[in-house]
Structure 1
Amino acid sequence: MVRPFVLWLIWQNECTRQRYHIGNLLHDGDKYVFYYEQSRKRRGLFEALENGYQPHLAFRDMGRKYVSNRLFGPFERRLPDRRRPDFLEILRTYGLPRDCTDMDLLRATGGKLATDSYEFVAPIYVSGNHFDFDFYVAGWRYYEGDRVIQYLKVGDEVHFRLEPENRQDSKAVEVLTNKGCKLGYIPAFYSEFMFNLIQNNGRYMARIESIHFEAFPQRKVNISVYGEFLPSYQTQDLDMLHQISLEVI
């Protein structure tokens, strides 16, 4: 089965700065599908609703699966205009080829606008007992990232450290260089997954996938993670992850 191109839609509460996985955008090469994420128990749609989230004006029905032959207008408007004189420079900044798709561009840029609190991110893909995902380091500006970024290289291994005493997030996971410098955190919508995996002795490898020296702090360093579950591993989000990864549009 060819897995569809999937992105998670994230909403951030502007007051608390907490982020929630509230929807999924899928593309199989033919149709685009968007629906709200109602399976996730932690940092999902229902928790977001309890913390002030209101459905997107273009997608008011939270129980509907929206289908389109082209990228939905509200998401397409989040992409840089391909007619811009500096469009090729934008592609170079994100390491994208000229023939990249709209989904490639949405994934690389996050589709962020100054006028709202939405962002697209890569999902956690699960196949059998293996998984992979990538993320931009959260909290970059507050730790040692800018001090050591000149010494980082693509392919460098990084390490994760649990921080259960964190008052903001008991499932927080720190991101450290191989020399122990703290770059920041795994974003919260991934952290419970990795926290539980590490606690259950799951195997993983994490490396620097890309470095963007001139990017905004939240898009400076991208980390790729690959790993596998042990047979005893269980998490409340695992069924949801399988559903997203294997869904056929």
Structure 2
Amino acid sequence: MRPFVLWLIWQNECTRQRYHVGNLVHDGTKYVFYYEHSRKRRGLFEALENGYKPHLAFRDMERKYVSDRLFGPFERRLPDRRRPDFLEILRTYGLPHDCTDMDLLRATGGKLATDSYEFVAPIYVLGNHFDFDFYVAGWRYYEGDQVIQDLKVGDKVHFRLEPENRRDAKAVEVLTDKGCKLGYIPAFYSEFMFNLIQNNGCYTARIESIHVKAFPQRKVNINVYGVLPMSCQTQGLDMLHQVALQVT
């Protein structure tokens, strides 16, 4: 079984650009947090160049933080299980009553109104296979709300490269089977898919869940899985090794 990993994302409030700055891992017994030191696009080093400062509770960017329970600064991001509407929150996100804190953190993103952090699922790579899931970015600006009642879990979606995008040359659009634009793959995932598509990689993308009453940025979740082409497999294995080295 693979450990439960979440990426910590930071958003620059001025540019609205988001960066993968850290990783939270739960291996079943302990929690580990560490900063993302790979020289990836939209990663920690790019974030630092664009105004990022380390989390106040995790000031040492070289340290691996370990705890027997979920770190307090992250636990406070979860809805209180004693809230009268807690079961309604679980229903909104399609979570069972016995969900773990990591399940809840992944589903809600752990977003607070007081800062610019959120948690997302990582890209998993094993051998030449990969899988990940994401919430459609930019939902409120396109056709999502117009067609959401017609969408169903299991529906296929399609990706289209948008290299002429002035804000992001690696932008990838998310389209329904009928060609309606739902939004984009978030930028911290898009380079992976942009390169995969350019190299004729094989993938399938389907709607994993639909949350009509959720915030726009958590309305529709897409699952992607596929096979890396030979030209991308070295990159994919490097990503896997980075996670494995940090978790063990």
Q: Which has the higher contact order (CA 8 A, sep 6+)?
A: 1
Hey, what's the Cα distance between the residues in 2 that align with 1:31 and 1:190?
Answer: 27
- Which position in structure 2 is the counterpart of 1:120? 119
**Contact 1:122-1:135 within 8 A present in 2 as well:** yes
| Matched residues, number | 248
Deviation sequence 1:196-226 (CA, Å, 0-9, x none): 0000011000000011111111011000001
Q: Percent identity?
A: 88
Identify unmatched segments of 5+ residues in structure 2. Answer: none
- Which position in structure 1 is the counterpart of 2:161? 162
Shift of the 206–107 alpha-carbon distance from structure 1 to 2, 3 Å rule, reads same
**Contact 2:20-2:43 within 8 A present in 1 as well:** yes
**Contact 2:211-2:219 within 8 A present in 1 as well:** yes
- Which position in structure 2 is the counterpart of 1:22? 21
Shift of the 63–246 alpha-carbon distance from structure 1 to 2, 3 Å rule, reads closer
Deviation sequence 1:140-175 (CA, Å, 0-9, x none): 011110111111111000000000010000000000
SS class of match (1:232): helix
What is the 5 A alignment of 1:19-168?
19-168=18-167
Shift of the 11–235 alpha-carbon distance from structure 1 to 2, 3 Å rule, reads farther
Using the TM superposition, give the Cα deviation of residue 248 of structure 1 relative to its aligned residue in structure 2, in angstroms: 3.9
Flag as ranges the 4+ runs of structure 1 deviating above 6 A: none
Hey, what's the Cα distance between the residues in 2 that align with 1:246 and 1:5?
Answer: 15
**Contact 1:40-1:240 within 8 A present in 2 as well:** no
- Which position in structure 2 is the counterpart of 1:180? 179
Using the TM superposition, give the Cα deviation of residue 234 of structure 1 relative to its aligned residue in structure 2, in angstroms: 5.1
Using the TM superposition, give the Cα deviation of residue 230 of structure 1 relative to its aligned residue in structure 2, in angstroms: 1.6
TM-score (norm 2): 0.97
Deviation sequence 1:122-154 (CA, Å, 0-9, x none): 000011000000000000011110111111111
Answering whether residue 4 of structure 2 is matched by residue 5 of structure 1, we say yes
SS class of match (2:231): coil
**Contact 1:209-1:224 within 8 A present in 2 as well:** yes
Identify unmatched segments of 5+ residues in structure 1. Answer: none
Hey, what's the Cα distance between the residues in 2 that align with 1:50 and 1:81?
Answer: 35
Hey, what's the Cα distance between the residues in 1 that align with 2:86 and 2:146?
Answer: 30
**Contact 1:127-1:245 within 8 A present in 2 as well:** no
Hey, what's the Cα distance between the residues in 2 that align with 1:130 and 1:246?
Answer: 19
SS class of match (1:3): coil
SS class of match (1:52): coil
Using the TM superposition, give the Cα deviation of residue 247 of structure 1 relative to its aligned residue in structure 2, in angstroms: 5.2
Hey, what's the Cα distance between the residues in 2 that align with 1:150 and 1:246?
Answer: 43
**What is the RMSD computed on CA atoms of the aligned residues?**
1.3
TM-score (norm 1): 0.96
Using the TM superposition, give the Cα deviation of residue 233 of structure 1 relative to its aligned residue in structure 2, in angstroms: 1.9
